[in-house]
Amino acid sequence: MATTKKDIRALTKDQLRDFFEKQGDKAFRGNQVYEWLWQKSAYAFEDMTNVSKETRQLLETHFVINNIEVNTMQRSSDGTIKNAIKLHDGLIVESVLIPTASRTTACVSSQVGCSLDCRFCATARLKRMRNLNPDEIYDQVVAIDKESKLYFKRPLSNIVFMGMGEPLMNYNNVIKAIDKITSSEGLGMSSKRITVSTSGVPKMIKKMADDEVKFNLAVSLHSAIDEVRTAIMPFNETFPLEDLKEALQYWHLKTQRKISYEYVVWKGINDAQKDIDALVKFCKYVPCKVNIIEYNPIDDSEFQQASKEAIQNYIQQLEKNRIVVNVRRSRGKDIDAACGQLANKS
């Protein structure tokens, strides 16, 4: 049912303290409630056991806690878990837990659908419905941390913003969520273990550099030739490679940190020598590494994974030019949980 009460987690700690003061209570009450909302992830006011019944009722009349709910959970034969997460307004996003021998990574969504139109991505076919709020991003991490402890007996170790949506098109909320995830008043995770992946929005990359963010940056490059990139990622027309390059140079100058390029090699699209040459050249602009990722087929798409030889050519020539390159095996394919496959089939 629609409600006019305010989402209490939209309030900062100071606003919460003010609320209690205005109600004639102690501002300190705000700290207690804040701790319940974030560090302890309380999903109901009645769970706040050290808060008086009167206070809980007061909160109940003014606010709601817009919690998420794991609607369905699927487990892949490789251990990957995909969650369909139901938001308070009934919309669904997906988040994925990816276990390896040494770490557990949460792949989280930043938007419902996506406003970009990458031709090879299933999420792009959904269009953007809305941005996620900071608490909705935070809660995905909390849910996956719980699953990690339950199924793998260890806490979550890494977070990648590679689920649904373009994080830099929901920048403010993503930053607020990361602040909570890394804060000792939240989950206390290290920002070094967080990676934000973007299709490359130059203005926002510069803003991140100015904001001195501490997490890692990955850019979904897929081609270093404008015509090719525009054909597969049409927004490249608006944000061409020259602007991207300039923004990345700015990022490096300010942060002194390397960039990761995500790169899929497709048959007949970017598997020729000229594509490799362009990538090698692009990699020289800013210290970086390249992650070659396997293509995860989506329904009736014209894209096909390139041959092993084509990928070997890429690897050899990148290495010859002293560019670090990793090949990423895809995970959770059998349950459509791999990169680019998130599209709410359920």
Contacts to ligand SAH by CB under 6 A? 118, 120-121, 162, 166, 197-199, 220, 262, 264, 293, 295-296, 298, 339-340
Closest separation between CB of residue 87 and ligand SAH, Å? Answer: 18
Q: Which tokens in the block code for residue 106?
A: 């949460």
CA distance 116 to 118: 6
Q: Based on CB atoms, which residue is closest to ligand SAH, 118 or 137?
A: 118
Residue matched to tokens 């995909």: 82
Q: Closest Cα partner for 12 from 134, 139, 113?
A: 134
CA distance 176 to 107: 17
Q: Based on CB atoms, which residue is closest to ligand SAH, 27 or 324?
A: 324
Closest separation between CB of residue 66 and ligand SAH, Å? Answer: 24
Q: What is the β-pairing status of strands 324-328 and 194-198?
A: unpaired
Closest separation between CB of residue 336 and ligand SAH, Å? Answer: 10
Instruction: Give, to the nearest 10 degrees, the angle between helix 171-182 and helix 202-210.
Output: 40
Enter the DSSP assignment of 266: B
Which parts of the chain are beta strand (E)? 6-7, 63-64, 69-75, 81-86, 92-99, 104-107, 111-112, 130-131, 158-161, 194-198, 216-220, 259-263, 288-293, 324-328
Q: Based on CB atoms, which residue is closest to ligand SAH, 59 or 323?
A: 323
Which parts of 115-215 are beta strand (E)? 130-131, 158-161, 194-198
The one catalytic residue among 107, 118, 288, 339: 339
Q: Based on CB atoms, which residue is closest to ligand SAH, 199 or 236?
A: 199
The one catalytic residue among 94, 136, 166, 262: 94
The SS3 call for residue 18 is: helix
Closest separation between CB of residue 287 and ligand SAH, Å? Answer: 19
User: Would residue 288 show up in a list of annotated catalytic residues for this protein?
Assistant: no
- Closest-approach residue to ligand SAH (CB): 340
The SS3 call for residue 185 is: coil
Closest separation between CB of residue 242 and ligand SAH, Å? Answer: 19
User: Would residue 246 show up in a list of annotated catalytic residues for this protein?
Assistant: no
CA distance 271 to 317: 13
Closest separation between CB of residue 244 and ligand SAH, Å? Answer: 12
Q: Based on CB atoms, which residue is closest to ligand SAH, 8 or 93?
A: 93
Q: Tell me if 246 sits within 8 A of 205, measured CB to CB.
A: no
Partners of 72 in the β-ladder: 84
Q: Based on CB atoms, which residue is closest to ligand SAH, 58 or 96?
A: 96
Active site residues: 94, 339
